[in-house]
Amino acid sequence: MRLTAIEEGHVRNGLPGTIGIAGVFRGRPFEPDEVRSRVRERWGGLERMSRVLLPPARSAALSGHRWAAARSFDPGAYVTTTDQELESLLADAVSHPVPVERPLWRLLVTRPATEADEQAVVLLADHALLDGRSLETLFRLLMDGAEPPAAALPAAAPRPRPPLRPATVGRELRRIGAVGQPLPTASPGEPRPSVAVVALDPQVMRAARRQPAGGRGATLNELLLSTYAGALRACYGPLRSWPRGSTPFLATVPVDLRTRHDAQRLGNGVTALRIPLPVDVDSPVARLQACQDLVAAFPHRLDAHHAILPALQAAARAVPLLAGVMARNLARPEATTSLCTAFKWRDHPSHLHGRPLSRIVPLPQLSPPGTANLCLVHTADAYTLTVVGHARAGDAGIIGDAVARELKALAAYDVPAAPAGQPC
């Protein structure tokens, strides 16, 4: 089975491609066999999880990679235990590809030092096999009492879309090809990968989500984008002090294209919308309002993607080399400096073999030097931010801490009173 153009792009973009999701649980340590049994029960019938990657049959320029089903597939065989601490495990995983000799995923269970310690169950996969929504879907299926995957609903007739003006499509194509600037690095050759997992104060998050005062409130995505913009300003200064001056800093927001008819479909089902972050805007609330305006334009921009993507995907599938060229071009730090995504784990409470889930820890992929990718997850009353950096050593932790400070500043922000004698 041929890979789709998006899958082919992930294979050929020159990056490790590992993404992940971890569930942190409280309670007695897991027995490996009970986790293996649950994985066999819930994932054994999922065809996607048995796929192995085969190289092109002919010239890589003219022939794409293929999927094949693993022989004697036993998903429980891909469950292992580890003594490694979670953040260290994620840092190692994101820098290395999943071995291609087997299906491109694995599940690890950390062993807590004592029965009172938290333990993690970590799903890692190659992005060509699964996207972030797929990881979330798979993890939900492991939980106690989870419903089996629903059969896909009958395909609905395509929703009529208003005709798009060529100018609208052209504007989105220019956004796709726009050139930004990477994160400042200390010197050539020095960038290195780093991972930071930051627990955010839930009271601060609740207060920040109520901003701006009198407004509709902020979504997780809007908060992440705006406070990341503030963190960049705090860490590196205003854009005029960056190596490329006022050239914008572009963030990319993945947007799921699945509908209720195929909500549990595994694979890759997202597109990406690029926006210039308001790094040079002064106040936390003004940055948030700027990001809300940018996000409000997403539905209209998605109409352009629905028009553009079929032609791009058909061309890349016809000429597999083109998929790699497009993917490597979009992976450049000037093009995609930061992937920023956020979601809420809505199934609460969740348990795995009776152990309560306390938080979800995401693992975005590693991008080329000069980049940082961020993912924020809300689980019950826990908010967890993961930063995967590829810039100066330790930049992931510096950025994560700066985002936490920006959230506090946003939560505490009060519109200054107007000077006496001036209108409010």
What's the mean pLDDT in 193-221?
94
pLDDT above 70 covers a percentage of the chain that reads: 92
Please state, in angstroms and rounded to a whole number, the distance separating the CA atoms of residues 111 and 32.
Answer: 10
End-to-end CA distance of the chain: 64
Strand order in the sheet with 355-363: 79-82, 105-110, 119-126, 18-25, 355-363, 351-352
DSSP class of residue 70 equals P
User: Could you give the CA distance from residue 200 to residue 90 in angstroms, rounded to a whole number?
Assistant: 19
User: Residue 26 is encoded by which pair of tokens?
Assistant: 């409280």
147-176 mean pLDDT: 69
Q: How far apart are CA 394 and CA 111, in angstroms?
A: 26
Cα separation, 6 vs 65, in Å, equals 12
**Would you state the structure tokens that stand for residue 140, as one six-digit string?**
């939900």
Residue 154 has pLDDT above 70, yes or no: no
pLDDT tens string 61-115: 678 899 999 988 999 999 999 999 999 999 999 999 999 889 999 999 998 766 6
pLDDT at residue 151, as a whole number: 52
Give me the mean pLDDT over the 175-183 stretch.
Answer: 87
What pLDDT is recorded for position 232? 96
The string of pLDDT tens digits covering residues 352-405 is 999 999 999 999 999 988 899 999 999 999 999 999 999 888 899 999 999 999
Q: Is the pLDDT of residue 178 over 70?
A: yes
User: What digits encode the pLDDT tens for the residues 309-328?
Assistant: 888 888 877 777 787 777 77
Confidence at residue 160, expressed as pLDDT on a 0 to 100 scale: 63
Q: Tell me the per-residue pLDDT of 220-273, one tens digit each, with 9 for 90 and over.
A: 999 999 999 999 999 999 999 998 898 999 999 999 999 888 888 999 999 999
Sign of the C-alpha dihedral computed for residues 209, 374, 345 and 81 taken in this order: negative
State phi, psi for 175 to the nearest 5 degrees: -65, -40
Q: Per-residue b/e over 121-147, b at no fewer than 16 CB within 10 Å?
A: bbbbbbbbbbbbbbbbbbbbbbbeeee
What is the share, in percent, of the chain residues with pLDDT greater than 90? 60
Cis peptide preceding 349, ω within 30 of 0: yes
By the 8 A CB rule, do 107 and 121 touch?
Answer: yes
Whole-Å CA distances, 12 to 8, 47, 324, 419: 6, 23, 5, 58
Name which of 151, 155, 97, 91 is nearest 129 in CA terms.
Answer: 97
Task: Band the pLDDT of 417: cuts 50, 70, 90.
Answer: very low
pLDDT value, residue 324: 77
In the chain, the amino acid numbered 145 is G
Q: What is the mean pLDDT of the chain?
A: 88
Question: Collapsing DSSP states into helix, strand and coil, what is residue 404?
Answer: helix
The one-letter amino acid code at 235 reads C
CA distance 195 to 18: 13
pLDDT of residue 421: 43
Strands (E), 291-381: 338-345, 351-352, 355-363, 371-379
Q: What is the CA radius of gyration of the chain?
A: 22
The pLDDT, as a whole number, for residue 423 is 37
What integer is the mean pLDDT of 326-336? Answer: 78
- 184-191 contacts at long range (C-beta below 8 A, 24 or more positions apart): 184/236, 184/242, 184/243, 184/391, 185/369, 185/370, 185/391, 185/392, 186/392, 190/392, 190/393, 191/369, 191/370, 191/390, 191/391, 191/392
